[in-house]
Amino acid sequence: MNGPFCGTYSIHPDHMQVNLPSNADDSSIDRDGVYGRPSSVPTEMSFTISRIQLSRLCRDITDTCAKAGVVKADLDYEAVLALDARFQVIQAEVPFFFRLDAESLQRADLIRRERPYMGWQGQLAQIGLTSRLSQLHLPFLARGYEDPRYASSREICLKSARTVISVTQNMQHASRVCNPKLLRMWPVLHHLFVSIVVLAMEYGFNGKDPKTKEEIVQACVILEQSQGESMLARRGIKQLKTVLDGWKAKTDKSGGDLGALNSLGQSNVNDPLVATGSTSSNEDRVELSDNQEVEPDFSWFDFDTDLRLLEWEELFKNLDVPARND
């Protein structure tokens, strides 16, 4: 996600000469210097090496934009597709013990029992990879509904959004044994929030499919409940809701239809997953202590899904912001 160093990075590779870490456990390091294992072998460094590979690609995206003299949102689509191809290579090389499909999970069952931390590392690895691929394509998501040249960007963003939601659902129900509270982490929640907005666009543009609505509701439940786990989560979610409130006010003035997702809020009283709350209660929640239960509230998500394409693109830009600590 974006932050203070968006569009740049603090250390250039030419300023240092450091080899990649060896794929090895600390206990296997000896004086002979022959202890590195293939990437298919799980070690204590597997996750770090995967993060470095993704970081290198993110750095190359920054360099590509700098050389073209544009920000990421204005990058030429051919360059986007070239970078996408590199993401596909990284995805293909993800070790099986970090994959979340049924076959890989079964294959890695013994590894995850011996190394429980690899379960949550795999979840973070998948969210990190898929969300950054989605960020690359987000500027072209709205165009994909009207121009077939960008249809692949729409499909990639939707697949990424559903992957992020699925992984966060697994996080919510994961065993606490050797598993940190990942839903306290703001980057995870930020990616979840943006994923919800991506599905909201799909819901509005593609016939208000009830299955998509149910996906949104399930994700909203996770997002709202996470506020009871972390003060930072409450602050960050409040910040993103403020962005959506701005768009709601804009469409109010222009006579836009604000009822497109109303069934996610007060009107859907028969849905056991939906509990509504007042808008003013959002202010009070920021002052709650950690671990205090937060009542789910979906009224904030009642905004216009009939925005023009350029307005959708601007909305995603405004949502791509970090949470502040103040």
Average pLDDT of every residue of the chain: 76
Q: Are residues 196 and 233 in the same domain?
A: yes
Q: Are residues 134 and 204 in the same domain?
A: no
Task: Please give the pLDDT value at position 53.
Answer: 92
* Whether residue 281 has pLDDT greater than 70: no
* 276 within some domain: yes
Share of the chain above pLDDT 70, in %: 69
Task: Please give the pLDDT value at position 16.
Answer: 82
pLDDT band at 74 (very low <50, low <70, confident <90, very high): confident
Q: Are residues 235 and 326 in the same domain?
A: yes
For the residues of 259-282, what is the DSSP string, one character each? Answer: TTTGGGTTT-TT-TT-----TTHH
Q: Are residues 288 and 257 in the same domain?
A: yes
* Residue of 293 and 170 predicted with greater confidence: 170
* 318 within some domain: yes
* 258 within some domain: yes
Provide the domain count of the chain: 2
* Whether residue 294 has pLDDT greater than 80: no
pLDDT band at 261 (very low <50, low <70, confident <90, very high): very low
Least confident range from 183-192, 234-243, 270-279, 283-292: namely 270-279
* 15 within some domain: no
* Residue of 85 and 182 predicted with greater confidence: 85
Task: Please give the pLDDT value at position 268.
Answer: 33
For 20-55, write each residue's pLDDT tens digit. Answer: 889 999 888 887 777 888 999 999 999 999 999 999
Q: Of the residues 154, 180, 206, which one is the last residue of a structural domain?
A: 180
pLDDT band at 279 (very low <50, low <70, confident <90, very high): very low
Q: Are residues 198 and 285 in the same domain?
A: yes
Task: Please give the pLDDT value at position 262.
Answer: 37
Q: Are residues 274 and 198 in the same domain?
A: yes
Q: Are residues 102 and 76 in the same domain?
A: yes
* Whether residue 158 has pLDDT greater than 80: yes
Task: Please give the pLDDT value at position 220.
Answer: 83
Rounded to an integer, the average pLDDT of 113-138 is 92
Q: Are residues 152 and 254 in the same domain?
A: no
pLDDT band at 128 (very low <50, low <70, confident <90, very high): very high
* 22 within some domain: no
DSSP 8-state secondary structure symbol assigned to residue 97: G
* 196 within some domain: yes
* 8 within some domain: no
* Whether residue 82 has pLDDT greater than 90: yes
* Whether residue 321 has pLDDT greater than 70: no
Domain that holds residue 134: 43-180
The pTM of this model reads 0.77
Query: What is the Cα–Cα distance from 36 to 320, expressed in whole angstroms?
Result: 38
Q: Of the residues 180, 208, 236, which one is the last residue of a structural domain?
A: 180
Q: What does each C-alpha distance from 162 to 84, 145, 196 come to in angstroms?
A: 18, 18, 9
Q: Are residues 163 and 208 in the same domain?
A: no
* Whether residue 120 has pLDDT greater than 80: yes
Q: Which of 132-141, 211-220, 236-245 has the highest mean pLDDT?
A: 132-141
* 12 within some domain: no
DSSP 8-state secondary structure symbol assigned to residue 21: P
Rounded to an integer, the average pLDDT of 71-79 is 85
* Residue of 152 and 175 predicted with greater confidence: 152
Q: Are residues 116 and 212 in the same domain?
A: no
Q: Are residues 300 and 206 in the same domain?
A: yes
Q: Are residues 197 and 134 in the same domain?
A: no
Query: What is the Cα–Cα distance from 204 to 226, expressed in whole angstroms?
Result: 26
Least confident range from 17-21, 123-127, 267-271, 297-301: namely 267-271
pLDDT band at 111 (very low <50, low <70, confident <90, very high): very high
Name every residue whose Cβ is closer than 8 Å to that of residue 243 and which is 6 or more positions away in sequence.
315, 318, 319, 321
Q: Where are the alpha helices (DSSP H) in 145-298?
A: 151-173, 186-205, 210-226, 231-253, 281-285
Q: Of the residues 161, 180, 199, which one is the last residue of a structural domain?
A: 180
Rounded to an integer, the average pLDDT of 6-26 is 82
Rounded to an integer, the average pLDDT of 187-194 is 86
Query: What is the Cα–Cα distance from 239 to 245, expressed in whole angstroms?
Result: 10
* Residue of 103 and 255 predicted with greater confidence: 103
